[in-house]
Amino acid sequence: EDKVVQSPLSLVVHEGDTVTLNCSYEVTNFRSLLWYKQEKKAPTFLFMLTSSGIEKKSGRLSSILDKKELSSILNITATQTGDSAIYLCAVGGGTSYGKLTFGQGTILTVHP
């Protein structure tokens, strides 16, 4: 069975702190790893990492894929209250093409 595990499950920080969120996976036929941010509504796409693109950066957010360790990290520097959300990791692969398996999510709370 495909499995994606995120840690920590929740995190409380103050504005300006740097945070690192973790995602590890066990998926047959790994194709890609995706990060999403979910505020009150629908998850919105942040990054996709593949064998040919193991590092992505957008502003204060960056992510790295470690294919050897079967894991990824999402870094957020200089956090702001607007970064408060659930961060979801998903892995594409498995026995069915197009299937995405999600982790439990990390709830990030940023206090002023």
Partner 1 sequence: DVKVTQSSRYLVKRTGEKVFLECVQDMDHENMFWYRQDPGLGLRLIYFSYDVKMKEKGDIPEGYSVSREKKERFSLILESASTNQTSMYLCASSLGTPPEAFFGQGTRLTVV
Provide the binding-site residues for partner 1, judged by CB under 8 A: 1, 4, 6, 9, 31-32, 34, 41-45, 48, 88, 90, 92, 96-105
- Concatenated DSSP letters of the chain: --EEEEE-SEEEEETT--EEEEEEEE-TT--EEEEEEESSSS-EEEEEEBTTB-EEEETTEEEEEETTTTEEEEEE-S--GGG-EEEEEEEE-TTSTT-EEE---EEEEEE-
Least distance in angstroms from the C-beta of 33 to partner 1: 10
Among residues 106, 110, 97, 95, the alpha carbon closest in space to that of 46 is found at 106
Least distance in angstroms from the C-beta of 16 to partner 1: 28
Q: Closer to partner 1 by CB, 17 or 24: give it.
A: 24
Q: Which residues pair with 58 in a beta bridge?
A: 61
Least distance in angstroms from the C-beta of 79 to partner 1: 22
Least distance in angstroms from the C-beta of 110 to partner 1: 20
Q: Closer to partner 1 by CB, 3 or 14: give it.
A: 3
Q: Closer to partner 1 by CB, 17 or 107: give it.
A: 107
Q: Closer to partner 1 by CB, 31 or 64: give it.
A: 31
